[in-house]
Amino acid sequence: MSDTAIKLEESWKAALAPEFEKDYMKSLKAFLQAELQAGKTIFPKGSEYFSALDLTPVDKVKVVIIGQDPYHGPEQAHGLSFSVKPGVKIPPSLVNIYKEQEEDLGIKQPGHGYLASWAEQGVLMLNAVLTVQAHNAASHQGRGWEIFTDAIISELNQAHEGLVFILWGSYAQKKGKKIDRNKHLVLAGPHPSPLSAYRGFFGCKHFSKANGYLQSLGKEPINWQVPELSE
């Protein structure tokens, strides 16, 4: 995690500066460097570890979608939860997210899974763990990322009002348990994975509920329609 390779947006850098001085972050940095020196492939690439923060500055955040772990297949992860790079097959959970959006808002399902358009509108797409070893799911859990992403959630919870936190599945709900429900809207439900989507994710209407809340506060709603990529 060299300073030259890491791209971190200035407002987040200021808000999170104390975290980078703590022992857990120094240990995490040493772990990642050792893994790379051992020839292991880590996803996403170093310049994309903080893509979610880079694309959605602190004062632009409207909605937070909490994921768990980056995708561990080639060319999938690029730093946004649930999103994949252009040209990559849409993962099953995202297929179900698109299905729910179509049912909820009547919007067309796009032909790709690249969700940067959401991030650019203020949707912070935050995984709890920001790196993973190739083909080894959850391999970087417990190394310190969870403490760092808890600090991000805490910053948003305490320093802001009127945000929407979307917590799909028990892992995200546990991570968001300290969010102040009096200051923010918390939308919780089953994970959109094929294993659990039929237990209440389908029909949750979280996208229209999020927009209704934002509009009630005089904020611009999110355009959840993911545009097709230009050739």
Q: What is the pTM of this model?
A: 0.95
- pLDDT (average), residues 134-144: 96
Q: Is the pLDDT of residue 58 over 80?
A: yes
Question: Which sequence positions are flagged as catalytic?
Answer: 69
pLDDT of residue 174: 96
In 3-state terms, what secondary structure has residue 145? helix
Confidence (pLDDT) at 7: 62
Q: Name the pLDDT band for 230 (thresholds 50, 70, 90).
A: confident
Q: What is the pLDDT of residue 28?
A: 97
Do 206 and 54 touch, CB atoms closer than 8 A?
no
Res. 18: pLDDT tops 80: yes
Do 210 and 63 form a contact (C-beta atoms < 8 A)? Answer: yes
CA angle 110, 9, 2 (to 5 degrees): 105
Q: 154: number of CA atoms within 13 Å, CB side?
A: 9
Q: CA–CA separation, 88 vs 71, rounded Å?
A: 11
Per-residue confidence band for 5, with pLDDT thresholds at 50, 70 and 90: very low
Task: Inform me whether the pLDDT recorded for 203 exceeds 90.
Answer: yes
pLDDT (mean) for 112-119: 98
Residue found under tokens 């899974």: 113
Whole-number Å distance between alpha carbons of 56 and 169:
23
CA angle 149, 151, 155 (to 5 degrees): 120
Compute the mean pLDDT over every residue in the chain, rounded to the nearest whole number: 95
DSSP letter for 227, please. Answer: P
pLDDT band at 3 (very low <50, low <70, confident <90, very high): very low
Q: Where are the beta strands (DSSP E) in 85-197?
A: 123-127, 132-133, 164-168, 185-189
Percent of the chain with pLDDT over 70: 97
Q: Is 180 left (phi over 0), alpha (psi -120 to 50) or beta?
A: beta
